[in-house]
Chains A and B, each alone.
Chain A
Amino acid sequence: MAMPEKNLPEKEPFDLLSIPVVKKFVKSKWYPGIFQWIVIFVFSIIVYELVIGTVDPSKNFGTTMTWVLWWPIIPVLFLVTGRFWCAICPFGKLSDIVRKFVGSKRPMPKFLRKYGIWLIDLFFIAITYSDHVWGIVESPRGSGYLLLLLVTMVVATSVFYERRTFCKTLCFLGGLAGNYSRSGALKVQATPDICKTCKVQSCYKGSEGVEGCPMFQFPRTMESSAECNICGNCVKNCPNNSVKITTRVPTKELWGLKNPKLEHASLAAVIMGIVFVQNITMLEPWQNILSAIGSVTGTSSYVVNFTIAFIIAMALPILLLLGTAKLASLLGMEGSIKKNFTRFGYAIIPLDLAGHLAHNLFHIFTEGKAVWFNSIRLFGVDSNPASLSLAPTPTVQMIQYIVILIGLVGTSYVVYRMGKNKNTAFKAMLPYYVLMTVLAITNIYLFSLPMMHRV
């Protein structure tokens, strides 16, 4: 007799460490070291080029590698490999080196532990804002100084505090990385049955040769991938082979969160606003928007008018999400507005990811050849290509629309699963479906307009 579907045991996720070669590699000292050293080598050249090389952004190797190549591919990396980038990030490696030689390894300050995620959100917003006001992306020197500022912050925190305090509580990319990695296809998890008999807990504490979890995580109780770098330290340290690196359906974590947090949900909504800002400032109507704001403020100062546009763009998705939460509760959704705002804020993440990716696809497709030409320029091969484009604009636009639609499907599915988990009626869920569709349509409309280049 066939078993009813509900009673079927859940399919065991695929463990990458069940492949002997992968397991051997992850347990070896080459992982993630080999990637870290390659990245830190390229990073050094990038910083050198940014602060010493040409100030022409279209010819600067650092600018193209950072803003045309790295920034567009980072959301894809998070989606496919979770937070693996953070394991090989040059700032993280620098922190490891500084801690190893001169770190005093004090515990992380209470303030940072408690409010670190808010600081991350704040830094992310501040950097995006300052980019638009001072043009960091278009200025190689500006980008270089930003990287050096981050280097200084890494050195300062690593000298005083244990593990990767900077990555956990100060890195501007941390919030974005955490949120995107929740949608990621990789997850590190321990086997509770094995862990409950463990007395050494070396995954967290570390062993003689390998440091404990640099992100302050305890694999046995870790519920989220948001703060796991997949650095493999726990795999190396565990004497019982309890830790697995498994694959999962992207976005799966979002609808199963046991402890959703307001700061993460707010960041998800703010990122949507930032994607809007990034798009709008490169579009034709931007001048009209600035003029409209200028007519209200009575000033023609770019900084003042941009600041107002920026605040509106940040606040708009938050207000929309709040309004939707209110509407949903009027239509019979259980829980307070704050609770629903927090829970469904996570549902925007796939759309954030899609918006971020679609926006940057434009740059990588229409300016992508700059990566090659500026790389060979390092070896003295100077060229004046007729075009930097990898694909014609209509093709890029079509890909952007498809990416946004995939994001909308992901977001809608998360909303659906969140509603299903709580047995919420469709009527109460409807405002969320409408909101996500409106956000997706707005993105598609913005991508249909002509856009400026980055370099």
Chain B
Amino acid sequence: MNKCRNRLKAILFPIKMHENCKFAHYIIRITLNPLINFMEVENLKKVFLCLFTLAFIFSINVRALADGDHSKNIKQATENFKNGSSNDQAEDNAGMYHDNGSDMEGMDHDSGSDMEGMDHDNGSDMEGMDMEDDSSGAAHDHHAAVVETPPNYKVLGTYGAVNLVFILIGVWNKWFRRKGDLNNGNA
């Protein structure tokens, strides 16, 4: 029993606790070290079982969940891309799906490399796509029309104020507190 407990202790508390920084040490302890110890002891069967389970879950074909016809566009884009389609072809494709004038005012990124044929307007913009709500994906929407917004002076002012406070602390510290200390002979 004691042996078992000691073994468990060795797994859960692999490094001696430092005097300070207990929190940081705790973070390390609960992340990497148990993992390493887990690999050290004879638990490989469980590891492989987990890996196989994960592999099984992710091998299930879930393409049916994609948004309907849209996947065809992506497949077409991929095919075009792999065939090394020419710029002309690519531009044709771009024209097919960017026909509402939202493609960055003529800044066509050499469409051979621009995910040809993808309809960016029906939620297919891959990076940063918001599966919950289209309206929140403005920052991610690569080729959507950009609505110019004025600078946010509140945020900028806050940054300025915080930095100014730090500078003032520095000024007080260096030019008043320390000089006062020097004058009092406390240097």
Q: Residues of A with Cβ closer than 8 Å to B?
A: 51-52, 54-56, 58-59, 98, 101-104, 110-111, 114-115, 118, 132, 134-136, 138-139, 141-142, 145, 148-149, 151-152, 155-156, 159, 262, 266, 281-284, 286-288, 290-292, 294-296, 300-302, 305, 318, 322-323, 325-326, 336-338, 341, 362, 366-367, 384-389, 392-394, 396, 448-453
Contact = CB atoms under 8 A, between A and B. Distances in A.
A145 B113 contact: no
Contact of B130 (A52, A155, A302, A341): A302
A310 B131 CA distance: 16
Contacts of B132: 300-302
A389 B109 contact: yes
Contacts of B167: 98, 102, 155, 159
B39 A111 contact: no
B99 interface: no
Contacts of A341: 36
B36 A337 contact: yes
B77 A118 contact: no
B92 interface: no
B1 interface: no
Contacts of B21: 110-111, 114-115
A118 B24 contact: yes
Nearest to A56: B146
Contacts of B84: 393-394
Contacts of A392: 110, 112-113
- Pick from A323, A367, A387 the residue with the most CB of B within 10 Å: A387
23 contacts: A51-B156, A52-B151, A56-B148, A102-B173, A102-B174, A110-B20, A138-B127, A141-B151, A145-B159, A148-B159, A159-B166, A282-B126, A287-B67, A288-B63, A291-B65, A292-B65, A295-B60, A325-B39, A326-B44, A338-B36, A367-B109, A393-B112, A451-B113
B101 to A, nearest CB: 13
Contact of B39 (A156, A323, A450, A453): A323
A283 B115 CA distance: 9
A111 B22 CA distance: 10
- Pick from B107, B114, B169 the residue with the most CB of A within 10 Å: B107
A366 B71 CA distance: 25
Contacts of A101: 170, 174
A402 to B, nearest CB: 17
B184 interface: no
A362 B27 CA distance: 37
B152 interface: yes
A453 B142 contact: yes
Given A54-B148, A450-B113, A451-B113, A287 B66 contact: yes
B183 to A, nearest CB: 17
Contacts of A393: 81, 84, 110, 112-113
Interface in B123-150: 124-132, 137, 139-140, 142, 146-149
A67 to B, nearest CB: 13
Nearest to A336: B40
A102 B179 CA distance: 13
Contacts of A51: 151-152, 156
Given A115-B24, A284-B77, A55 B109 contact: no
A452 B126 contact: yes
Contacts of B110: 366, 387-389, 392-393
B65 A138 contact: no
Contacts of B87: 387
B120 to A, nearest CB: 10
Given A286-B127, A292-B62, A322-B39, A98 B170 contact: yes
Contacts of A56: 104, 146, 148
Contacts of B147: 55
B157 to A, nearest CB: 11
A318 B58 CA distance: 19
B182 interface: no
Given A159-B166, A284-B126, A291-B62, A326 B39 contact: yes
